[in-house]
């Protein structure tokens, strides 16, 4: 496109210069058919030489105002040089200059097309073979949104979304969930300083809670711990780990990015970093009708994490040996790939309120059953005004309890039904002919309505 504009600009400059030279010479442009057999542009070009347009008599010493008698110099001027149009160039001595310019422009065109890969073969062998892709001629769907089409689409979306929303809500309502917050309840009533209480390792933190089953709960029953106001997504917290150390035993001394939990007494901490240091360490035991309920803690973490992120030959070392204990202590005889509580915790949450899987109960619970929970309230959430809760939940084909998905589908489906109804009324009450030019703004203004 730039080359085409360049050539057009050059042509205009040639014509303007030619006209100026004729005006300065006091000549009129010869027209085809005037001045005999060699009159007109061809006759003028036949006498071209280098220079400017000037009267023949002036150069030969004659009267510049005399009318020339030579039919070959009709108009009193002959071509001494300057710019000429394409026909004059091709018929005169300037043909070589014209051909040179034309070849230069074509060379630039070939370079331009090769650079953008638009030509499949050289211009010297033939014209470029343009593809449908380069010419934007590929098949495309360009639907016309007529009222019937719009109404049909809204109805279709509503018909699909509303049943999905209803099914999602029904599945969510079938989930039986027990949530018990215990962080305040498990602190003795005579304790005023909760932070000092939780940091005092000499005081027993054992607490008992009683839970009542509201509906039948079929196994497996998932046991979660829930934390509020805990920002695991903080940038410094998320970066405070070393994945190479967790995965490879030969990288045990690699503690890059693990500040401030990197070394202790000159020895590397394995696993290092704040995430591992702050692992949740509250424990739960359950009793049902004086019978202990075992908690299955196998396969509570992602299999990909166990197989690829935590090495089977990497063992904890020098962990939680400092004066301030951040969380759970790890068994140094068990490799990290089998420490599933650690693996679950180190998959950081995106929101400040989150749940993490603690284990599964493989026993059915009936409505109105009573469960006694004995827990150790060890984890410190009092320093940042956090909350701790114990959650027991069943699951359905949709997962745990989550009303948002069903409500979202119902909202979108209901909105589509409303729009379909509104457009239908508008189409029936005030129909509009498709493609009517009277609705264009300039036509409305000219008509005065």
What are 274-285's pLDDT values in tens digits?
A: 999 999 999 999
Exposed / middle / buried, residue 241 (Cβ in 10 Å: 0-12, 13-18, 19+) = buried
Question: Does residue 229 sit in the same domain as residue 366?
Answer: yes
Question: Does residue 75 sit in the same domain as residue 206?
Answer: no
In this prediction, residue 358 carries a pLDDT of 96
Residue 179 has pLDDT above 90, yes or no: yes
Q: How many residues does the chain have?
A: 449
Where residue 139 falls among pLDDT bands split at 50, 70, 90?
confident
In this prediction, residue 387 carries a pLDDT of 95
Residue 429 has pLDDT above 50, yes or no: yes
State the CB neighbour count (10 A cutoff) for residue 200.
Answer: 11
Where residue 66 falls among pLDDT bands split at 50, 70, 90?
very low
Note down the domain range covering 76.
2-93
In this prediction, residue 202 carries a pLDDT of 87
> How large is the average pLDDT for residues 186-204?
89
Question: Does residue 188 sit in the same domain as residue 328?
Answer: yes
Asked whether residue 145 is assigned to any structural domain, the reply reads no
Q: For residue 353, give the nearest of 179, 226, 184 by alpha carbon.
A: 226
Question: Does residue 52 sit in the same domain as residue 187?
Answer: no
Question: Does residue 180 sit in the same domain as residue 84?
Answer: no
Q: Which of 15-19, 146-150, 184-188, 318-322 has the lowest mean pLDDT?
A: 15-19
Read off the pLDDT of residues 82-120 as tens digits, 9 standing for 90 and up: 444 544 444 444 556 667 777 777 887 777 666 655 444
Question: Does residue 80 sit in the same domain as residue 182?
Answer: no
Question: Does residue 68 sit in the same domain as residue 185?
Answer: no
Question: Does residue 74 sit in the same domain as residue 195?
Answer: no
CA distance 139 to 46: 56
CA distance 310 to 224: 22
Distance of CA 364 to the CA centre of its chain: 45
- Please, which residues have CB within 8 angstroms of residue 44's CB and are 6 or more apart in sequence? 30, 73, 74, 75, 77, 78, 79, 88
Asked whether residue 255 is assigned to any structural domain, the reply reads yes
Asked whether residue 406 is assigned to any structural domain, the reply reads no
Question: Does residue 80 sit in the same domain as residue 181?
Answer: no
Given 93, 111, 140, the domain boundary residue is 93
Tally of domains within the chain = 2
Asked whether residue 221 is assigned to any structural domain, the reply reads yes
DSSP annotation string for 316-374: -BSTT-SSS--S----TTS-GGG-HHHHHHHS--SSSSEEEEEEEE-S-B-TT-EEEEE
210 three-class SS: strand
In this prediction, residue 97 carries a pLDDT of 61
CA distance 361 to 377: 21
In this prediction, residue 113 carries a pLDDT of 67
Asked whether residue 411 is assigned to any structural domain, the reply reads no
H helices of 30-146, where? 40-45, 56-59, 86-91, 95-115
Where residue 47 falls among pLDDT bands split at 50, 70, 90?
very low
Sequence-ordered strand ranges (E) for 162-220: 177-181, 206-212
Q: Which helix (H) or strand (E) holds 291?
A: strand 291-293
| Mean pLDDT score of the chain | 79
In this prediction, residue 71 carries a pLDDT of 40
Residue 156 has pLDDT above 90, yes or no: yes
Residue pair 274/255 in contact (Cβ under 8 Å)? The answer is no
Read off the pLDDT of residues 234-290 as tens digits, 9 standing for 90 and up: 999 999 999 999 999 999 889 888 988 888 888 999 999 999 999 999 999 999 888
Which comes out higher in pLDDT, residue 92 or 373? 373
Question: Does residue 84 sit in the same domain as residue 183?
Answer: no
- Please, which residues have CB within 8 angstroms of residue 250's CB and are 6 or more apart in sequence? none
H helices of 26-176, where? 40-45, 56-59, 86-91, 95-115, 147-173
Which comes out higher in pLDDT, residue 376 or 69? 376
Asked whether residue 224 is assigned to any structural domain, the reply reads yes
> How large is the average pLDDT for residues 378-407?
93
Question: Does residue 61 sit in the same domain as residue 181?
Answer: no
- Please, which residues have CB within 8 angstroms of residue 375's CB and are 6 or more apart in sequence? 182, 186, 206, 207, 208, 209, 282, 283, 284, 285, 390
End-to-end CA distance of the chain: 44
| Percentage of the chain exceeding pLDDT 70 | 73
Which comes out higher in pLDDT, residue 68 or 413? 413
Given 61, 93, 125, the domain boundary residue is 93
pTM for this model (two decimals): 0.65
Q: β-pairing, 177-181 with 387-393?
A: antiparallel
Question: Does residue 55 sit in the same domain as residue 181?
Answer: no
Asked whether residue 373 is assigned to any structural domain, the reply reads yes
Asked whether residue 215 is assigned to any structural domain, the reply reads yes
Where residue 322 falls among pLDDT bands split at 50, 70, 90?
confident
Given 50, 77, 93, the domain boundary residue is 93
CA distance 93 to 417: 79
């Amino acid at each position: 496109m730039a080359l085409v504009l360049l050539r057009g600009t050059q042509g205009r400059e040639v014509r303007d210069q030619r006209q100026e030279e004729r005006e300065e010479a006091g000549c009129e442009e010869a027209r085809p058919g005037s001045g005999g057999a060699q009159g007109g542009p061809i006759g003028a070009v036949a006498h071209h030489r280098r220079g400017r347009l000037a009267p023949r008599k002036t150069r030969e010493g004659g009267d510049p105002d005399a009318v020339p008698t030579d039919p070959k110099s009709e108009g009193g001027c002959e071509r001494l040089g300057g710019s000429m149009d394409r026909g004059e160039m091709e018929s005169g001595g300037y043909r070589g200059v014209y051909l040179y310019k034309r070849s230069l422009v074509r060379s630039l065109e070939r370079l331009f097309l090769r650079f953008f890969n638009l030509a499949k073969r050289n211009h010297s062998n033939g014209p470029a073979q343009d593809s449908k892709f380069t010419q934007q001629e590929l098949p495309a769907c360009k639907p016309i949104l007529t009222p019937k089409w719009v109404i049909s689409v809204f109805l279709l979306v509503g018909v699909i979304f509303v049943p999905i929303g209803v099914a999602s809500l029904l599945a969510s309502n079938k989930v039986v969930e027990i949530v018990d917050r215990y962080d305040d309840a498990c602190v003795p009533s005579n304790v005023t300083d909760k932070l000092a209480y939780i940091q005092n390792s000499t005081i027993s933190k054992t607490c008992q809670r009683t839970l009542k089953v509201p509906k039948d709960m079929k196994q497996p029953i998932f046991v979660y711990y829930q934390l509020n106001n805990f920002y695991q997504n903080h940038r410094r917290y998320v970066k405070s780990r070393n994945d190479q150390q967790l995965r490879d035993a030969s990288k045990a001394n690699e503690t890059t990015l693990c500040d401030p939990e990197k070394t202790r007494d000159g020895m590397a901490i394995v696993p290092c970093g704040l995430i591992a240091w702050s692992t949740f360490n509250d424990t739960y035991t359950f009793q049902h009708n004086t019978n202990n309920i075992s908690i299955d803690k196998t396969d509570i973490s992602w299999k990909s994490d166990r197989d690829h992120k935590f090495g089977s030959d990497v063992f904890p070392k020098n962990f939680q040996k400092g004066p301030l204990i951040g969380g759970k202590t790890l068994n140094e005889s068990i490799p990290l790939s089998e420490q599933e509580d650690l693996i679950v915790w180190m998959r950081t949450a995106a929101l400040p309120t989150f749940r993490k899987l603690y284990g599964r109960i493989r026993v059915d619970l009936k409505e109105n059953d009573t469960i006694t929970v004995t827990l150790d309230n060890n984890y410190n959430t009092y320093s940042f005004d956090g909350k701790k809760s114990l959650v027991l939940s069943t699951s359905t084909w949709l997962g745990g309890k989550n009303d948002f998905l069903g409500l979202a589908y119902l909202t979108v489906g209901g909105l589509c039904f409303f729009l379909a109804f509104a457009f239908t009324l508008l189409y029936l009450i005030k129909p509009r002919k498709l493609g009517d030019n009277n609705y264009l703004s300039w036509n409305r203004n000219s008509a005065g309505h």
